[in-house]
C-alpha cells in the first residue's frame, strides 16, 4: 500500500495523530480487518511499536480489537471517526479551559507573576522588543498592551485594519475607556467600515485619514507596535509587526500622530 505523504500530513493535522498512528490507520482502512503484524509490514512501522500504536488508536476510537487469536483489528468507518474525534476534542478543550480558569485565582498564578516581575526587573529596557509574526500574534500583543494601558492609545491604520481592530479589540477598548484611557484612531473612513465606526465611536475618537499611509499603535508613550507590510499585499499569516518598548521613539511617533490629529 502506498499512501501519499500529503494525505498522511493532512491526517496528522486534522486528527491530531503522530506519524506511526496515521500510517497504521491508513493501512487498516485499506484492509478493513488485519493483524498488527500485517499492518506493520504494509505501513512500514516497526513491529515493536505496532501494538502500542494500535492500542493508542483503539483508545482514541479509530479501531476496534477483534476477539480471538491471532489478535486482529477492525477499522471504524471514517465518518464515525470524525464524530468521535470531534466529540473528544470538545471534551478535552472544555477540560483545559476549566483548568486554566482555576489557575486564575490560584497560588500558582501568583508564583508565575512573581517570577515574571522579578525577571522583567532584571531586563535591560533596550532588550524589550520583539518580532510579531502573523496577524493573530499581532492582535494578541496589541490586546495585552491595551489591557495594561493607563493614559493613551494612538492608532494609525488602514480602512480594513480599522474594521479588524474594532472586531478584535472592541471589548478591550471599552474597558480601557472606563479606566480613563484616551483612545484615538486615525483611519480612512469608507462606506465599508461605517458600521465599525458606529460600534467604536463611544469608546474612541476616530478621525478620517487618507493622507498618511501607515500602520502603527502607540501605548502610554512607551510602547509602539508598527507593521512593516501593506496589509493589502500580505496574507494574514505573513503579516509582520515589530514591538519595541522605547519612550524615545514612541514619543516621537506620538508627536507625528498629534501633528496629524491637529490638522483640519
Q: What is the 3-state secondary structure (H, E, C) of the chain?
A: CCCCHHHHHHHHHHHCCCHHHHHHHHHHHHHCEEEHHHHHHHHCCCHHHHHHHHHHHHHCCCEEEECCCCCEEEECCHHHHHHHHHHHHHHHHHHHHHHHHHHHCCHHHHHHHHHHHHHHHCCCHHHCEEEEECHHHHHHHHHHHHHCCCCEEEEECCHHHHHHHHHHHHHHHHHHHHCCCEEEEEECCCCCCHHHHHHHCCCCEEEECCCCCCCEEEECCCEEEEECCCCCCCCHHHCEEEEEECHHHHHHHHHHHHHHHHCC
The set of cell numbers assigned to 68 is 480471538
**pLDDT confidence band for 91 (50 / 70 / 90):** confident
Which CATH number belongs to the domain containing residue 245 in this structure?
3.30.870.10
Say whether both 142 and 237 belong to one domain.
yes
- Domain hosting 18: range is 5-77
114 or 119: whose pLDDT is higher? 114
Say whether both 66 and 143 belong to one domain.
no
- DSSP β-bridge partners for residue 187: 208
Q: Are 187 and 157 in contact (CB under 8 A)?
A: yes
Say whether both 150 and 256 belong to one domain.
yes
pLDDT 10s digits, 146-167: 999 999 999 999 999 999 999 9
Domain annotation covers residue 115: no
pLDDT value of residue 213: 87
Say whether both 53 and 179 belong to one domain.
no
Which CATH number belongs to the domain containing residue 10 in this structure?
1.10.10.10
Q: Are 203 and 172 in contact (CB under 8 A)?
A: no
Say whether both 66 and 132 belong to one domain.
no
Say whether both 132 and 71 belong to one domain.
no
18, 52, 77 — which closes off a domain? 77
4 or 193: whose pLDDT is higher? 193
The yes-or-no verdict on residue 121 having pLDDT over 70 is no
- Give the mean pLDDT of 115-136: 68
Counting the structural domains of the chain, the total is 2
Say whether both 139 and 245 belong to one domain.
yes
Say whether both 244 and 133 belong to one domain.
yes
Domain annotation covers residue 112: no
Say whether both 169 and 246 belong to one domain.
yes
What is the Cα–Cα distance from 195 to 15, expressed in whole angstroms?
A: 39
Domain annotation covers residue 95: no
Q: Are 227 and 240 in contact (CB under 8 A)?
A: yes
Please give the mean pLDDT across all residues of the chain: 88
Say whether both 134 and 201 belong to one domain.
yes
The yes-or-no verdict on residue 20 having pLDDT over 60 is yes
**pLDDT confidence band for 87 (50 / 70 / 90):** confident
The yes-or-no verdict on residue 89 having pLDDT over 90 is no
- Give the mean pLDDT of 222-231: 92
The closest alpha carbon to 28, from 62, 69, 67, belongs to 62
The yes-or-no verdict on residue 184 having pLDDT over 90 is yes
Domain annotation covers residue 232: yes
Domain annotation covers residue 98: no
Amino acid at each position: 500500500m502506498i499512501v501519499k505523504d500529503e494525505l498522511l500530513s493532512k491526517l496528522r493535522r486534522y486528527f491530531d495523530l503522530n506519524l506511526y498512528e496515521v500510517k497504521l490507520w491508513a493501512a487498516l482502512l485499506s484492509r478493513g480487518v488485519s493483524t498488527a503484524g500485517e499492518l506493520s509490514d504494509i505501513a512500514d512501522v516497526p513491529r515493536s511499536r505496532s501494538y502500542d500504536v494500535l492500542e493508542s488508536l483503539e483508545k482514541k476510537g479509530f479501531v476496534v480489537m477483534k476477539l480471538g487469536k491471532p489478535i486482529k483489528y477492525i477499522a471504524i468507518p471514517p465518518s464515525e471517526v470524525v464524530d468521535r474525534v470531534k466529540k473528544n476534542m470538545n471534551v478535552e478543550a472544555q477540560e483545559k479551559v476549566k483548568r486554566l480558569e482555576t489557575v486564575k485565582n490560584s497560588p500558582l498564578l501568583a508564583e508565575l507573576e512573581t517570577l515574571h516581575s522579578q525577571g522583567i526587573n532584571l531586563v535591560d529596557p533596550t532588550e524589550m522588543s520583539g518580532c510579531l509574526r502573523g496577524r493573530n500574534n499581532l492582535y494578541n500583543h496589541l490586546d495585552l498592551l491595551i489591557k495594561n494601558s493607563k493614559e493613551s492609545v494612538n492608532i494609525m491604520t488602514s480602512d480594513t485594519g480599522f474594521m479588524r481592530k474594532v472586531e478584535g479589540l472592541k471589548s478591550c477598548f471599552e474597558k480601557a475607556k472606563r479606566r480613563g484611557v484616551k483612545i484615538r484612531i486615525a483611519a480612512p473612513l469608507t462606506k465599508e467600515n461605517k458600521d465599525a465606526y458606529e460600534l467604536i465611536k463611544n469608546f474612541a475618537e476616530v478621525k478620517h485619514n487618507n493622507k498618511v499611509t501607515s500602520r502603527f499603535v502607540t501605548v502610554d508613550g512607551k510602547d509602539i507596535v508598527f507593521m512593516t507590510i501593506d496589509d493589502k499585499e500580505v496574507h494574514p499569516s505573513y503579516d509582520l509587526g515589530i514591538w519595541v518598548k522605547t519612550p524615545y521613539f514612541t514619543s516621537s511617533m506620538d508627536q507625528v500622530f498629534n501633528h496629524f490629529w491637529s490638522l483640519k
